[in-house]
Amino acid sequence: MEIDPGKTNSGGPIRTQTYVNPPNWLVRAVRALIPPGPGSANEIIDVLLETHGSVPQAVLRLPAVVAVPALGWAREVFYWKMAVAQFAILFLPFVDRAGSFT
């Protein structure tokens, strides 16, 4: 029994049958929460909508997906802010009360 790839159905739904257009508010919210990096907001939304099939189900899974990159980005920003603050503390002994270097 041979299978002709041109005439048989793969068994899974085709993207056009299950694709849900994401609402604009969802795209804007994910863009605001996701830090810049390799995974864009559109890719994350597309994956969530393809796997769960509806916007409410995708919104329920969104915090778990956004948490890891957002917390990683927050940690990196915190490290840079602390580095700048420590660098500024090094120069405090050289500043007089008027705010100028001595």
In a domain, 101, yes or no: no
Q: How many domains does the chain have?
A: 1
pLDDT tens digits for range 18-36 = 566 778 888 888 888 887 7
**What is the residue-level pLDDT of the chain in tens, covering all 102 positions?**
555 555 555 555 555 555 667 788 888 888 888 877 766 777 888 888 888 888 888 888 888 888 888 888 889 899 999 999 999 888 887 777 766 666
pLDDT of residue 23: 82
- For residue 15, what are the contacts with CB-CB under 8 A and spacing of at least 6? 50
Residue 77's domain comprises: 15-94
User: 30-38 — which CB contacts under 8 Å span 24+ positions?
Assistant: 30/62, 30/66, 33/66, 33/70, 34/66, 34/69, 34/70, 35/69, 35/70, 35/72, 35/73, 37/69, 37/73
In a domain, 65, yes or no: yes
In a domain, 102, yes or no: no
The pTM of the full predicted model, rounded to 2 decimals, is: 0.51
In a domain, 6, yes or no: no
In a domain, 9, yes or no: no
In a domain, 60, yes or no: yes
